[in-house]
Structure 1
C-alpha cells in the first residue's frame, strides 16, 4: 500500500494533532495544580506534557520521512477540551491516557501492521506502553487527591521537593523547617493506599 493513501498516515496525523493538544492541556493543568497547592502534581503534569511533545514529534517525523511538506487531511477525529480543578484534570488526563493506551494506539498499530508499515506499528506499540504508565500515575494521583493528598491514615515519609528535607508523619509540615517552602512542595513517599 502507498503510504500517502493509507489509513496509517491519517492515524499518524491524528496522533500528532492529539499529542500536540495533550501537551498544551497538561501545561495548563500544571499551572492549575500549582494554583491549587499541588507542586508535585504540577511537576508530573509538566513532565508528562514533555513526554507528549516528544510523542507528537515522533509522529510528525514518521510522516515527514515519507511525505515531506505534504498536507494531511484528518477526518473523523475528535479531541477533548477540558479544564477544571486539579482533581478533575487528573481524572480527565487518566481517561485520555487510558483511551490512547488501550484503544486508540493498539488499533493504530494493528492498522499499520496490516498495511505493511511495521516501523510505524512498533512506534504505536512503544508509545502505547508509555501511555499505560501515564494512565496509572494519573489514576493513582486522582485517588490520592480524593482521599486528601496531604493527609495519610498512618505515618508516611514526605520529602520537600526544594531542599530534600524528609519528614515522617501523617501530614507534611505546613512550612519546611529548612527552606521555608509551603506544604505544597512536599511529595509523599509511602505505600500505596496509605
Structure 2
C-alpha cells in the first residue's frame, strides 16, 4: 500500500491510536462493571475490546507491512531475525520518545497548569482550585516517575536487540546497600530509588525500601509494597 499520501498515513496512525485506546478503555469498563456485578455487560466489553484489537492490528499492518508474517515456515533465519529486530527497534523508538520527550513535557505542563489553575480560580472557587492543583501535582509526579519506567523499558529492549544480533546479555546485579539499591514494581515497572524517596507519598529522600510503611502503595498503579522486587541493574563496563 502506497503511504506517500501524508493524509492517509496520518489517518492510519490516528485510527491505530483510536482503536488501541478503545481496547484498553473497554477492558477498564469490563473490570468496573464486573466489580459491580454485571457479568454479562463485562463480557460484552471484553468481546468488543478484542474486536478493537483486531482493528488496530489491521491498521498497524498497513503502517508496517515489513512486519506482516503470512508463512513463518517459509522465512529464513535471517529474515526472521530481521523482522524481530525491527519490532525491537520500533519498541525502543517508542519508549525512548516517552522517557526523553513525552513524559518530561507532560510533567512540565502539569506543573504549569497547577499554578495557572490555582491563580485563575482562587478567589471564586478556592476549594475547586485546590483540588485541581492537587490533581495536577499528582499528574506531574506520575509523569516524572514514568520517565524512569520508560527508560528502563527502552534499555531492556536494547539489550534484547543486542542479544538477537548475536551479542551477550548485559550483566546485571542487585545492589547490596539498602541506602542506594533500587526496587521495581512487578505490575507497572515503577522504580523506587531510596536516594530520591517518594516525597509526594510522604516518603522522604534517603529512606531505604525496607523502612517504607507496609501500607505504602505504588504511586503509579497502586500495587502494594509486596509487589516490589529488587531491581537488577547493569554492571558498569
For this structure pair, what is the TM-score category when the shorter chain's length is used for normalisation? 0.3 to 0.5
TM-score normalised by length of structure 2: 0.29
Work out which structure has the larger RCO, using CA pairs closer than 8 Å and 6 or more positions apart in sequence.
1
